[in-house]
Amino acid sequence: MAEGAPSSSSLPPPRTRIFKIIVIGDSGVGKTCLTYRFCAGKFPDRTEATIGVDFRERLVEIDGEKIKIQLWDTAGQERFRKSMVQHYYRNVHAVVFVYDITNASSFRSLPSWIEECKQHALGSEVPRILVGNKCDLQDSVQVGTDEAQQFADSHSLPLFETSAKKPNGPEEGSQRNSDHVEAIFMTVAHKLKSQKPLALSQPAQGLGGAIDLNRGTDNKGDRGWGCTSC
């Protein structure tokens, strides 16, 4: 080793990168339950309407790098959003749109949530996904998979259907396959990591930094993830 060159033991420990993912959709679709399921590993005993925003974090390891996934559980009710909405969108790395498969109105609201992203000048290259929640309630389905898939395709959004309550697959006899909440958020994290490999010359940044996960992408040929109307 050259004299004066830092040995690996004298290098500061790498800072943990933070991926900020916002979860948006109508009130009651299950945003709190989905984020809680991913970060705490279980369905919450009870929830109350989110006021402003709640944060949940989980440290994961992807290809040997520790990454903090920070989920911003936003309020679905307009009266609880107003003052906070600017903060949601600042330095956001990915967006998860949620609707409730047993509530057609929450599905019809999706264009307005997509529009809100647009209003906040989110680049079209920021990964976005669409999640239909409450797949365990098969007797009450109001939004069929085909309809949701059509919508997702028309907006270039990957679609996942899941249940925050019973994420281990469909009930016996159900036609519908449920994605696992864990797999959904990890898919987003993998996407973000692949978009922005950790460069030694570029220290990891948290919320305060203007980390740009969207440049130098390797997503040629990828289908989905962007949003054609955003």
Ligand X SMILES: Nc1nc2c(ncn2[C@@H]2O[C@H](COP(=O)(O)OP(=O)(O)OP(=O)(O)O)[C@@H](O)[C@H]2O)c(=O)[nH]1
133 forms part of the interface with ligand X (CB under 6 A): yes
109 forms part of the interface with ligand X (CB under 6 A): no
Cβ 192 to ligand X, closest distance in Å? Answer: 23
Residues 207-226 touching ligand X, rule: CB under 6 A, are none
84 forms part of the interface with ligand X (CB under 6 A): no
101 forms part of the interface with ligand X (CB under 6 A): no
Q: Which of 92, 60, 82 is nearest to 207 (CA)?
A: 92
Q: Tokens 């919508």, residue?
A: 151
Nearer to ligand X, 56 or 165 (CB): 165
30 forms part of the interface with ligand X (CB under 6 A): yes
Whether 56 contacts 73, CB under 8 Å: yes
Q: If residue 99 lies in a helix (H) or strand (E), which one and from where to where?
A: strand 94-100
How many residues make contact with ligand X (CB under 6 A)?
A: 20
| Exposure letters 120-143 (e unless 16+ CB within 10 A, then b) | eebeebbbbbbbbbbbbbbeebeb
Q: Near ligand X by CB under 6 A, which window of 10-18, 128-136, 168-176, 213-221?
A: 128-136
- C-alpha dist (Å) from residue 84 to 9, 63, 97, 130, 223: 43, 34, 18, 22, 32
- C-alpha dist (Å) from residue 181 to 36, 102, 186, 229: 10, 18, 9, 26
Residues 164-203 touching ligand X, rule: CB under 6 A, are 164-165
User: Among residues 38, 50, 155, 225, which is the contact residue for ligand X, using CB under 6 A?
Assistant: 50
Whether 174 contacts 146, CB under 8 Å: no
Cβ 99 to ligand X, closest distance in Å? Answer: 10
95 forms part of the interface with ligand X (CB under 6 A): no
29 forms part of the interface with ligand X (CB under 6 A): yes
User: Among residues 31, 56, 58, 196, which is the contact residue for ligand X, using CB under 6 A?
Assistant: 31
User: Among residues 18, 53, 75, 143, which is the contact residue for ligand X, using CB under 6 A?
Assistant: 75
* Number of helical (H) and strand (E) elements in the chain, helices listed first: 6, 6
d(CA 190, CA 93): 12
Where does this chain bind ligand X (CB under 6 A)? 27-33, 47, 49-50, 75-77, 133-134, 136-137, 163-165
